[in-house]
Amino acid sequence: MHRILRPALGLVMAAAALAPAANAQTDMDTRYASWPTYNGDDLELKVDASGTHFTLWSPEAEGAEVLIYNSDRNTPAVDTLRMTRGDSGTWRANVPERLLGKFYTFRVTVGGRTLDETPGIWAKAVGTNGQRAAIIDLDATDPEGWADDRGPELAAITDAVIYEMHHRDFSIHPSSGIVHKGKFLALTEPGTTNGLGRSTGIDHLRELGVTHVHILPSYDYNSVDEANAPANQYNWGYDPFNYNAPEGSYSTDPANPSARITEMKRMVKALHDAGIGVVMDVVYNHTAGGDDSNFSLTAPGYFYRHRPDGSYSDASGCGNETASERQQMRDFIIESVKYWAREYHIDGFRFDLMGIHDIETMNQVAAALREINPNSFVYGEGWTAGDSPLPAEQRALKENVARMDGIAVFSDDIRDAVKGHYSAAAERGFATGRPGNEETVKIGIVASTAHPQVDYSKGNNSRFAYASAPTQIINYVSCHDDLSLTDKLAASMPGSTEAERQRAARLAQTIVFTSQGTPFMFAGEEVFRNKKGIHNTYRSPDEVNAIDWTLKNTNSDQFDYYRELIRLRREHPAFRMTTAEDIARNIRFDRISAPNVVSYSILNNAGGDTFREIKLVFNGARTPFTARIPRGEWTVIARDGQINADGLGTSPGGTIVVPPTSALILARTR
Ligand code: CA
């Protein structure tokens, strides 16, 4: 995710994170814990019939003011309101008028020093670059039909197929045929094509069959200058500035505080109308700035963890880490996600570096979201990017996921086993002919749950069944971090042809999409997009990050394979079991001595499936494998790099050769 240098972290950092933390509680930490807290729904701004009311939480301030402006930047304040002390560490100011259309900032004096102005931490509307908060009629930003807008219903997260997308990647290329390139509105445009007869945009998503779009950070982030839209800037957005307002560079008019809000809502509604849910990537674990962040300018020190010497601790690798275990910060995270769920109808949340947060906070987040929307879900990176003062047993780490209710973590196990290690570009994985990863692939197949035939002592990353249910696991072989799958295959398969690499991608994704747990894919891999071999493209230009949609024609067979693979999963609950017990009962691995081969059956009409048995044989070797399939009336679903969820033909079983780098999937109803 990172702004500075963003390693995607697997085993190495997870292990480091489990090392004993340095003496956790500093004097500062103890002091902050004694501060009064305030969680009223009027924090910072409330406009009602009696006027405009400001309430700032800043217990140690010696004074606080509200500055009122007529515009979002470059104009002097038209009024300055002195705030008076309220209860529970707050400061208050009121005016009898409804100041709709005005902008405001807070200015706090603490320790004898008057700090810079800040829009606060609860600005729900902001102007250009988020420098000033805006007073708007939020209800007026709702698109038509918003009250009836609903995301897709899910029995469990494992029914989701998640597509991770950056707004700009998805629509900025000329071949997208989209009018609002790089904007929220890009996803509201039906009927777009790549000029070669193939759909793009939201129609493409429907055709592919994914259930949820996971949008990279879409709150107001710091690094793209919203006042200079034509500058061709790009950033992933892992540098939070205003957590509760959308990013302005994705709107058609960053200076108009309502535009970014209503346009993001229109995006959500268009996706919901297409039957697609929206997951938002949230980055509460650190802020873009330290002393100059909105947290620091509101209540200096409180929202962050520190080292014993008073400096910021840095589990994020971005210069600071927030302190979710402190009540006011915990409340902030919970209220913030609740706000996005209620106001924007966001269906799911992906927590960046979730291991920086404490388990209790994450459990409260998930519970609060379920109350708002029982179809919502939460997943995150179960690791940190550096050590933290928070004791490891309190961290929302992958290894602790069994203690988290309704939360899933990314499986770096399946990721690294299938394609090779994320940071060692040339290293192959199971799908590309490296032996020794078979047991870790099996760990992926059973979603890191306990299974009598899986030997966790042979796991590459985690050595125990850390998940208590498959609903706790997100399976993937690539995401925005590190090499895209296409680039990873190019780096690890020197001398290979494009066709050979596409074959390897098909095998890799077939393992992911048929495994228990929830599948997740990086946008554009269905057309075999690349990122020009660059690992960390967080601020690379469009030439690197944009998806060229003419690839949908060039690689149409690849797209068809992904579409059918997704359809297979969605039509068959056997791939979507929800308990570890069902997986242990219904999955039976075959004893295979050949390297780079995993073969198993899903039995017993698992999950109520029409198929009594599904047989899957993954051959990652560079030589053919001869499988011995029981005699029966089999439907051949996948073979030799081809797939059709309705069947490619039939087979009586017996000896079947599985060509190199391919999956064989057979199914029978009796
Ligand atoms: Ca911004």
CB distance 446 to 380 below 8 Å: no
How far is Cα 118 from Cα 120, in angstroms, rounded to an integer?
A: 5
Q: Which residues contact 615 (CB under 8 A, 6 or more apart)?
A: 599, 600, 601, 629, 634, 664, 665, 666, 667
pLDDT band at 231 (very low <50, low <70, confident <90, very high): confident
CA of residue 241 to ligand 1 center, whole Å: 7
CA of residue 541 to ligand 1 center, whole Å: 17
- pLDDT at res. 12: 35
- pLDDT at res. 19: 39
Buried b (16+ CB within 10 A) or exposed e, 493-525: beebeeebbbbbbbbbbbbbbbbbbbbbbbbbb
**Which runs of E-coded beta strand occur in 236-311?**
240-246, 277-282
How far is Cα 196 from Cα 383, in angstroms, rounded to an integer?
A: 43
**In a 10 Å sphere around its CB, with 0-12 CB exposed, 13-18 middle and 19+ buried, how is residue 270 labelled?**
buried
CA of residue 482 to ligand 1 center, whole Å: 24
H-helix or E-strand spanning residue 333: helix 327-343
- Catalytic positions are 352, 381
**Which runs of E-coded beta strand occur in 352-425?**
377-380, 407-410
Dihedral angle at the C-alpha atoms of 68, 70, 75, 79, nearest 10 degrees? -30
CA of residue 69 to ligand 1 center, whole Å: 19
Collapsed DSSP state (helix, strand, coil) of residue 143: coil
User: What angle in degrees, to the nearest 10, is found between the helix axes of 498-514 and 485-492?
Assistant: 130
**Which runs of E-coded beta strand occur in 34-189?**
46-48, 51-57, 63-69, 79-82, 84-85, 90-95, 103-110, 113-114, 133-134, 162-165
**Which runs of E-coded beta strand occur in 507-556?**
518-522
Dihedral angle at the C-alpha atoms of 525, 530, 533, 536, nearest 10 degrees? -70
Q: CA–CA distance from 484 to each of 32, 171, 212, 528, 535 (Å)?
A: 42, 18, 20, 9, 8
Q: What is the pLDDT of residues 493-525, one digit of tens each?
A: 999 999 999 999 999 999 999 999 999 999 999
Q: What is the pLDDT of residues 40-53, one digit of tens each?
A: 999 999 999 999 99
Name residue, tokens 């500035």: 241
Across the range 79-83, mean pLDDT stands at 98
- Tell me which DSSP letter residue 567 carries: H
How far is Cα 553 from Cα 527, in angstroms, rounded to an integer?
A: 8
How far is Cα 266 from Cα 269, in angstroms, rounded to an integer?
A: 5
Across the range 146-166, mean pLDDT stands at 98
Residue 8 has pLDDT above 50, yes or no: no
CA of residue 463 to ligand 1 center, whole Å: 42
pLDDT band at 10 (very low <50, low <70, confident <90, very high): very low
CA of residue 613 to ligand 1 center, whole Å: 51
Across the range 553-579, mean pLDDT stands at 98
Residue 9 has pLDDT above 70, yes or no: no
CA of residue 193 to ligand 1 center, whole Å: 30
CA of residue 503 to ligand 1 center, whole Å: 40
Across the range 406-419, mean pLDDT stands at 98
Q: Tell me what the pLDDT averaged over the chain comes to.
A: 95
| Rg of the chain taking only CA atoms, in angstroms | 25
Amino acid identity at 647:
G
CA of residue 239 to ligand 1 center, whole Å: 9
Residue 585 has pLDDT above 60, yes or no: yes
- pLDDT at res. 25: 59
pLDDT band at 1 (very low <50, low <70, confident <90, very high): low
Collapsed DSSP state (helix, strand, coil) of residue 343: helix
Across the range 534-553, mean pLDDT stands at 97
SS3 content of the chain, % helix, strand, coil (to 5): 30, 20, 50
CB distance 462 to 440 below 8 Å: no
Collapsed DSSP state (helix, strand, coil) of residue 611: coil
Across the range 546-564, mean pLDDT stands at 98
- pLDDT at res. 22: 44
Q: What is the pLDDT of residues 207-216, one digit of tens each?
A: 999 999 999 9
